[in-house]
Amino acid sequence: MEPGEAQNPLTQLRRGVIEYCVLALLTAEELYGFDLVRRLGESEGLVTSEGTIYPLLSRMRRAGWVTTTWRESESGPPRRYYAITRSGQHALDGFTTEWQRFRDSVDGVLGTGEGHRDGAHRG
């Protein structure tokens, strides 16, 4: 297998989970695009092309998972702030449960689960 192909499953996985990461960030506070992208960027390996977050946000808005409001900024043009909706919260809750199960299963098979590491979960 080519090294480039080996990256593919992670790209797919990233694409699938990133919207839930966005939802999770929005549960704490409303954020505007740039801020949101920066927060996601703080977690290593989560976002490769920051620009792809914008189509994602647009899709989430159309799906009713987030709402947007324009707000004045201290300097410069108004910004579009994103807030999570009830149905977004619903989607996030469902995903969180499934993700934990999925992650544990993969960790278990790969032998990288809690039993193999120090097991201390932060957060």
CB-nearer residue toward other proteins: 33 or 120: 33
How near is the Cβ of 70 to other proteins at its closest, in Å? 10
- Which residues, other chains included, contact 43 with Cβ-Cβ below 8 Å and sequence gap of 6+? 21
Collect all residues with Cβ–Cβ distance below 8 Å to 69 and sequence separation of at least 6.
30, 80, 81, 83
Nearest-approach distance from CB 14 to other proteins, in angstroms: 10
Of 101 and 119, nearer to other proteins (C-beta) is 101
Between 11 and 122, CB nearer to other proteins:
11
Smallest gap, in angstroms, from Cβ of residue 78 to other proteins? Answer: 9
- 79-84 and 31-32: which strand pairing? antiparallel
Where are the strands (E) in the chain, listed by range?
31-32, 66-71, 79-84
Residue number with CB closer to other proteins (15 or 116): 15
9 in Cβ contact with 62 (< 8 Å): no
| Contacts to other proteins by CB under 8 A | 12-13, 15-17, 32-35, 37, 41, 48-52, 54-59, 61-64, 73, 75-77, 79-80, 95, 98-99, 102
